[in-house]
Amino acid sequence: MSEEKLFGELPQALVEELLNKCETIGSTLISNFEQLRNFKEKIRSILKNDNILRNKASLKPQPIPTCCAVDGAYAVEKMLSNDIVAVTAVAIEGLTPPSENRYWGGPNYLTFVDTVNHDVNSLPRGIMMAMEIEIAYNAPHEVIMLDGSFSTPLIHMNQAINSMNLKNKDRPTVYIEDSFSKYLDRYIHIASSNRSDKAWIYLPKYTTKKEMKLKYEANWPFDYDDRAVLTQIMEPGEFVGPINIELPESPWHFSKTPGVSDKSKSTMLYHALNEISVIYYKPNLQTPSLRIEINKMAASNENIIAKVLNCIEFQCGFGGIFEPYPLYMADRMVKTLGSAMPAFRQTATLQIAKEYKGDISDVYFGMHGYRTENGRN
């Protein structure tokens, strides 16, 4: 990549000053890495003595389960008049042993697209969460992987509900109102399932959780989060946990529950989220430690844990991909939604131009982006 493309239109003096400051960053990181290296054996010894750090080989052998991964995305094309919002959730089947049949002929998905007012706020996230939960609930696989944390659907849906304009019954508002009851039932089922033939797990890519640091604070190096430290100290095939999830400072809650009169359902969900457990697993040398969130029943059953770890190990055999293969593919697919938004706008613009009876300039300005678009990347 050329220097011009690398730094864009930043002033040269600014770039030089930033590069000079990177030397200070390097010195700080070297100090952090050295401290972590010095703590490595001590932490390993403590975790082994407490029987928290174990090898997967200590568990009863389990067959490789069938699996899929679910991820979602939303994109907003901002225009002078209304905005166009598109939401999708996609499920991708994992790699299967030669003896296994696939359940789906291709990606399983749900979509939503509509024009909305500028105050759409967090509604698309709520729709995305409802779609992800629906696909995960109906998936026929033994292990269903989802991106994020068990608490992510509650947080995003709660934000969406808070931003709903109940006076303006646009499609996003109606979608959430109509689907919330089923969404809550499915969410509760996933978070508190007692099924031994099926496990729903969440694998966040980015996490700041520190359950292990809180438990072993006296021996934990500086303020690194759990995943950063365990990636350095764990050997391939080792796992840590299960341990109880770090609870929030304030209790879980939905500000409102549209279409749900039974408040006990929400209470059931909050109780299940408080009992989620965490496992860290390093499947191989080229993969960092993975944070796996799993519900209470599955965490108490070592056969299910072995099945989940087998699944992840089988799906993490690709150098350079730091997560299970189907989760990586689902993420790649949904993240391309944003690049398709201009095509949606152009299609809608052509339809309007054909049928609109007024001045065509109304269409030009109304369907134009809210900023200058020349030279847009």
What lies within 8 Å, CB to CB, of 283 at 6+ separation is: 236, 237, 290, 309, 312, 313, 316
> How many CA atoms within 13 Å lie on the side-chain side of 69?
25
The model's pLDDT over 72-98, given as tens digits with 9 standing for 90+, comes to 998 887 776 677 788 999 999 998 776
Question: Does the pLDDT at position 208 exceed 80?
Answer: no
DSSP state letter for 56: G
- By three-state DSSP, how is residue 67 classified? strand
Mean pLDDT of the chain: 83
DSSP state letter for 226: H
Give the pLDDT band (50/70/90) at residue 1.
Answer: very low
Question: Does the pLDDT at position 120 exceed 80?
Answer: no
| Helix (H) / strand (E) containing 278 | strand 277-281
pLDDT at res. 21:
78
User: Residue written as tokens 């991106």?
Assistant: 147
Report the number of secondary-structure helices (H) and strands (E) in the chain. Answer: 13, 9
Whole-prediction pTM: 0.85
Task: Find, among 204, 227, 195, the residue nearest to 307 by Cα.
Answer: 195
| Helix (H) / strand (E) containing 328 | helix 325-335
pLDDT at res. 99:
60
End-to-end alpha-carbon separation of the chain, Å? 16
CA dihedral 175, 189, 310, 196 (to 10 degrees): -150
The model's pLDDT over 32-43, given as tens digits with 9 standing for 90+, comes to 778 778 778 888
Query: Which stretches within 78-140 are classed as H helix?
Result: 123-138
